[in-house]
Amino acid sequence: MIPMQANVLWHHATVTRQRREQMNGHKSFILWFTGLSGAGKSTLAHCVEESLFLHGCRTYVFDGDNVRHGLCADLGFSDADRAENIRRIGEMSKLFIDAGGIALAAFISPFRKDREIVRASVKAGDFIEIFCHAPLSVCEQRDVKGLYRKARRGEIPNFTGISSPYETPGNPEIIVMTGESTVEECARQIIGYLQHKGKINPIRSESIKQQNL
């Protein structure tokens, strides 16, 4: 049997990523926020997006919970489903950077291998891994969703940090200490990195929206 892919050809567009980046006035890339539940990934991703958006950047946040209402609604939390969840978001993020935008992906993404697969699927420099470092004890104290309490009672199987492992990044581009620093401080660190690497033009510090982690 001939594989279906044998009859599927890639169509090359005349409007390229480079042209879109020139029109947008900034580089396109993926900001990948990883860390335990309660480490502040989504809050920080939206804070960074707010700053970038106010600066005129084309942005979109992919939130771990939100995508499971639609794109990944058919997936559970087994290791295989987690890997497929990250694969889909990786492919979606690739489309967004090809469109000239900045994709901010906030996912626990507990397995190093899955994150590295996404990194390997894009050009060098396109994948910026941000480790949101917060001790498990701090994440449990926050526990705004009550998930850790349920996991401790055995009501949620395969819960990262309790009954399923989290593999910390080996060499992330950015480590933000979300367990002890404010959202604003962490956002400033990320924006500073992007400016230093020439991904975006300088952003006024007062445009970074302050929020509580």
pLDDT along the chain (213 residues), means of 10: 65 86 94 96 96 94 86 88 93 95 96 96 97 95 88 91 93 96 96 94 57 43
Whether residue 86 lies inside any domain: the answer is yes
Total domains present in the chain: 1
Whether residue 46 lies inside any domain: the answer is yes
pLDDT at 2: 54
pLDDT at 213: 42
Whether residue 157 lies inside any domain: the answer is no
pLDDT at 210: 46
Whether residue 193 lies inside any domain: the answer is yes
pLDDT at 110: 94
**183 phi and psi angles, rounded to 5 deg:** -60, -40
Whether residue 41 lies inside any domain: the answer is yes
- Cα–Cα distance, 93 to 59 (Å, whole number): 11
CATH code where residue 101 lies: 3.40.50.300
Whether residue 24 lies inside any domain: the answer is yes
pLDDT at 5: 66
Q: Which residues neighbour 194 within 8 Å (Cβ) at sequence distance 6 or greater?
A: 128, 200
Whether residue 39 lies inside any domain: the answer is yes
pLDDT at 4: 59
pLDDT at 204: 54
pLDDT at 211: 44
Does residue 205 carry a catalytic annotation? no
Spot the catalytic one: 109, 121, 181, 207. 109
DSSP 165: -
Q: Which domain holds residue 46?
A: 16-135+168-199
Q: What is the dihedral of CA 36, 205, 190, 148, to 10 degrees?
A: 0
